[in-house]
Amino acid sequence: MFFSLVLKFISRYEQRLFSRFYLLIFFSGILQFNNLISQIKLEEEPNMLYYEFTTRREKDPRKWKNFRDIFHKDRLLMGKNRILGSVSYNTGRVLVAGNNGEPKEEYRHALALSTRIRFYEQFSFNTTFFIDFNKKAAARWISDYSYTLGRYHYKANKFNYGYENYLDNKYTDNRHKFWEKFLEGYYFLSYNIGISEKFRNAIAFDQTTSLKFIPLVRYAFRYRDEFEREHGSPINGKTTIGFAMRYTIYKNVYVEGAAYYYPEEKKKQPWDPDYSYGFGYFDWRSFRLSLSYGNWAINRWPGTKTYYKSYGFLDGQFRVIANWIW
């Protein structure tokens, strides 16, 4: 009896050991695959020895690049571009159902707190939390918070991939609802297509001019319809194919747009857009203000069926953004 218990214990221990061994092999293989397809290259700032003594303190706020310049301390990851984010004011029209069934206008007024934590190369965990001041301005495509995890590289000819969740996440969701919406988030793969330096010089108005094309594909294990019914499975999920473009014209003024295709039309929901668009002025540097507009839902091509006939330009998101880099 004693020896049989010992043998069972050893057998369970071996199973755990081998399962961990195979997991180690699996993740090592994933890392090697990343190095192959994504040209992963670490570009970290070297340690700044005796920073406080060898670097002059910058007193001009216009030249501050991050909080290291403010506090003049090279510690707690300050100045490493590993922790950054923004604070923004968001507004826009939201059409809700009125008492007589006709659309009623509400305007969203929300404060957004966004954070990006970069933990390896250009891999990061990103969150945005909204504080809404008009609770009536609520719609299926408006969330209380969003989160993403993946590789987001800003350079040309780089792969990006990961997981994103921009669903109608609510602070009041319980654990079961959170898990359901987690499964409705999508996994994505995209590629930054840059332009040649010769072509860029031909269209450049200043050093901020750039043009980028991004083919992409998204896949969600599960999805919800307009009646809040769950559909899908890991092998029968929802696929979206898209092609995006961003053109920075002059002095950080940009326009952007994207078109989307749904291979299985029956899985396309009323709020899924055929296209999206945006424009604005965006200065990525720390302690700078930016102005932007984006319309990322509902839009349908002329002649196609739409469930929101009154949806238009005013229903996009207008933002005033203050960026910061730790």
Residue 275 vs residues 224, 247, 256, 297: alpha-carbon distances, Å: 20, 16, 11, 8
Residue 8 has a pLDDT of 47
Residue 201: pLDDT above 60?
yes
pLDDT cut 70: percent of the chain above it? 87
Q: Over 50: is that where the pLDDT of 16 sits?
A: no
pLDDT(33) > 70: no
pLDDT of residue 9 exceeding 50, the answer is: no
Query: pLDDT for 108-156, tens place per residue?
Result: 999 999 999 999 999 999 999 999 999 999 988 899 999 999 999 999 9
Residue 38 has pLDDT above 70, yes or no: no
Strand 83-97 relative to strand 253-261, pairing: unpaired
21 pLDDT higher than 50: no
- According to the model, what pLDDT value does residue 22 have? 43
What is the pLDDT at residue 18?
39
Burial of residue 7, with CB atoms counted within 10 A of its CB: 0-12 exposed, 13-18 middle, 19 or more buried? exposed
- How does DSSP assign 82-132, residue by residue? SEEEEEEEEEEEEEEE-TTSSEEEEEEEEEEEEEEEEEETTEEEEEEEEEE
Instruction: Check residue 195 and give its pLDDT.
Output: 92
For the chain, the structural domain boundaries read 1-38, 141-325
The rounded mean pLDDT for the chain is: 87
- The confidence band for 75, taking pLDDT boundaries of 50, 70 and 90, is confident
Nearest to 310 by CA among 106, 169, 110, 143: 106
